[in-house]
């Protein structure tokens, strides 16, 4: 799956329960689904493992069965920019796979995760065989474009509360991450890595968002109560209003 030896050595065929989490399998006809499922491999990524590395040729289209990954890149000065988190149900890298290019970003596991991979050749075969698969990939590309535009907007935000709100909203995108459901399993430290703030500052922002009835902090995760308000995030925190 990856040329990183540990990930490669841990690869195996997908279980039926894991295949059931892959959203695009449902749009294939029986023959296409059979061929795809025979080609899909999964591996367990440990915290810190690199699934995709900048400059490495894409050989698989990847998806998150369980866990949490982050997409980031490093600039010439060595600074890291995080684009997004990748929670369960999210498939990524279709643009790179379409063009058979090398990755321009890194994908790293933030926690122990199960990652599935479909070979590039099988991906292109499905594009030539399935209208439903084409529509799924086109929708992915469209949603991804909107996601990256939002990332640029978030990067320019001065309000930490707004940054946290918009970043959370992005992780609850049902088109890109259908496996998240109503509760996102994430720690404050993991969210801090994705937002680019300290864990303490993220904690303050989560308290503000909860006080505004936008989210509810639950054991092991976060429940969104008002996704529309999180996406707009046109507000200032109480502290900033009275600064």
In tens digits, the chain (243 residues) has pLDDT values of: 544 667 878 899 999 999 999 999 999 999 999 999 999 999 999 999 999 999 999 999 999 999 999 999 887 677 778 888 999 999 999 999 999 999 999 999 999 999 999 999 999 999 999 999 999 999 999 888 877 776 666 666 678 898 899 889 889 988 899 989 889 999 999 999 998 899 999 999 999 999 999 999 998 899 999 988 888 865 544 444 434
Tell me the angle at which helices 199-211 and 188-195 cross, rounded to the nearest 10 degrees. Answer: 100
Spatial neighbors of 109 by CB under 8 A, at least 6 apart, are: 45, 46, 47, 48, 49, 51, 67, 68, 69, 115
pLDDT of the residue at 163 = 87
Angle, vertex CA 83, rays to CA 82 and CA 89, nearest 5: 115
Spatial neighbors of 236 by CB under 8 A, at least 6 apart, are: 159, 161, 162
Nearest to 192, CA basis, from 182, 184, 183, 201: 201
Q: What does the DSSP 8-state code read for residue 28?
A: S
Task: Yes or no: say if 44 and 114 are a contact pair by the CB < 8 Å rule.
Answer: yes
Domains in the chain: ranges and CATH = 5-151 (2.60.120.10), 158-241 (1.10.10.10)
Task: Yes or no: say if 135 and 27 are a contact pair by the CB < 8 Å rule.
Answer: yes
Q: Where are the alpha helices (H) located in the chain, listed in sequence order?
A: 5-9, 16-19, 30-39, 94-98, 120-129, 131-155, 160-171, 188-195, 199-211, 227-232, 238-241
pTM of the prediction?
0.84
pLDDT of the residue at 232 = 81
Nearest to 196, CA basis, from 240, 229, 166, 237: 166
């Amino acid at each position: 799956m990856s040329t990183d030896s540990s990930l490669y050595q841990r690869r195996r065929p997908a279980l039926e329960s894991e295949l059931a989490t892959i959203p695009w399998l449902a749009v294939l006809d029986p023959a296409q689904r059979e061929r795809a499922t025979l080609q899909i491999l999964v591996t367990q990524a440990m915290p810190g493992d690199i699934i995709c590395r900048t400059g490495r040729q894409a050989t698989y289209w990847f998806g998150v069965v369980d866990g949490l990954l982050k997409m980031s890149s490093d600039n010439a000065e060595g600074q890291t920019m995080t684009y997004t988190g990748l929670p369960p149900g999210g498939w990524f890298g279709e643009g790179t796979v379409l063009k058979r290019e090398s990755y321009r970003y890194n994908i790293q596991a933030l926690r122990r995760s199960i990652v599935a991979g479909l070979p590039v050749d099988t991906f292109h075969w499905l594009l030539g065989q399935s209208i439903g698969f084409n529509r799924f990939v086109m929708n992915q590309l469209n949603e991804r474009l909107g996601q990256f535009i939002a990332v640029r907007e978030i990067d320019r935000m001065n309000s930490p509360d707004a940054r946290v709100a918009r970043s959370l909203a992005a992780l609850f995108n049902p088109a890109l991450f259908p496996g998240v459901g109503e509760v996102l399993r994430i720690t404050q430290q993991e969210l801090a890595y994705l937002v680019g703030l300290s864990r303490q500052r993220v904690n303050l922002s989560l308290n503000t968002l909860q006080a505004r009835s936008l989210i509810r902090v639950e054991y092991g995760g976060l429940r969104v109560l008002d996704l529309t308000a999180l996406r707009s995030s046109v507000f200032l925190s109480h502290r900033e209003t009275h600064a």
